[in-house]
Amino acid sequence: MTTLSKRLCLSAMLALSTFAFAATASAETSKLVIESGDSAQSRQNAAMDKEQWNDTRNLRQKVNKRAEKEWDKEDVAFDARDKCQQSANVNAYWEPNTLRCLDRRTGRTVAP
């Protein structure tokens, strides 16, 4: 009978400790942890995002400058073509491949 009572006592203690462990485990999961978001990882991610933004901004600026330069070139050529075609010099003609006003007789550049 002593072994039976020992077994019952041990199983009762085991049941109580299991219940106590389950209660503490559920208490731990009910906690809510709020971080400020200011961690080393978030600062590093922000720095990398800023660096990438600056790189793409520089690239966009280069592309825009190049497009503006090409547009300016076309604009100047358009004005030069108009001046060449309206020139009083009958031997002047517009060469579209070189974008210049040339003399028909000599092939030299003409200032309209």
- pLDDT tens digits for range 2-57: 666 777 666 766 666 665 555 555 555 677 667 676 788 888 888 899 999 999 99
Locate all alpha helices (DSSP H) within 1-112, ordered by sequence: 2-29, 40-85
Q: Span 86-94, mean pLDDT?
A: 89
* pLDDT in the model for residue 13: 67
For the record, the structure tokens of 4 come out as: 């039976």
Classify residue 76 by its DSSP letter. Answer: H
- Is the predicted pLDDT of residue 62 greater than 60, yes or no? yes
pTM to 2 decimal places: 0.44
